[in-house]
Amino acid sequence: MEKPLNNNIKNSIKLHIAPNDDGFTCAIEIEDSCKKIMTPEQLEMCVSIAHGLAHMAITDPSEVFRMGVHSQAEKAKKLSEKKKKNSSNVIDFLIHLKKKRDEEQWANFEEEIQDPF
């Protein structure tokens, strides 16, 4: 029987990333409470995903960095679209032009990103 998981982020597997002289360090932290709350299958799945993410970051940091930048841009875009849907039917062209300029800057920014590794 599976134990209920209340989406409690405190009882989770944690992937720590910290800068160091050579770039960064990855560490996986498993709370003791996880072993009590999660079933062995759930614990194995979460630990395996954490190890996979750490391995990917260590073996291909450039791609992981690009994915992170892209993910942040997508999140900002979705947030902007959500705010747009909540607005009235009045069109403010200055806001429209600013958004267009910002989108162009994001596109240029992604092209100019230099690999830090």
pLDDT tens by residue, 56-94: 999 999 999 999 999 999 998 888 877 777 666 667 778
User: How many folded domains does the chain comprise?
Assistant: 2
- Residue 79 inside a domain? The answer is yes
1 pLDDT band (50/70/90 cuts)? very low
Sequence-ordered list of residues with C-beta below 8 angstroms from that of 37, at least 6 positions apart, any chain: 3, 5, 8, 11
Average of per-residue pLDDT across 43-51: 93
User: pTM higher than 0.85, yes or no?
Assistant: no
34 with 71, same domain: the answer is no
46 with 80, same domain: the answer is no
Question: Which residue in 33, 29, 27 sits closest to 11, CA to CA?
Answer: 33
74 with 103, same domain: the answer is yes
d(CA 100, CA 103): 5
Range of the domain at 17: 13-59
Do 70 and 33 meet the contact criterion of CB atoms below 8 Å apart? no
Q: CA geometry: angle at 11 spanning 8 and 13, to 5°?
A: 115
Q: Which residue has the higher pLDDT, 117 or 90?
A: 90
66 with 106, same domain: the answer is yes
Average of per-residue pLDDT across 15-21: 93
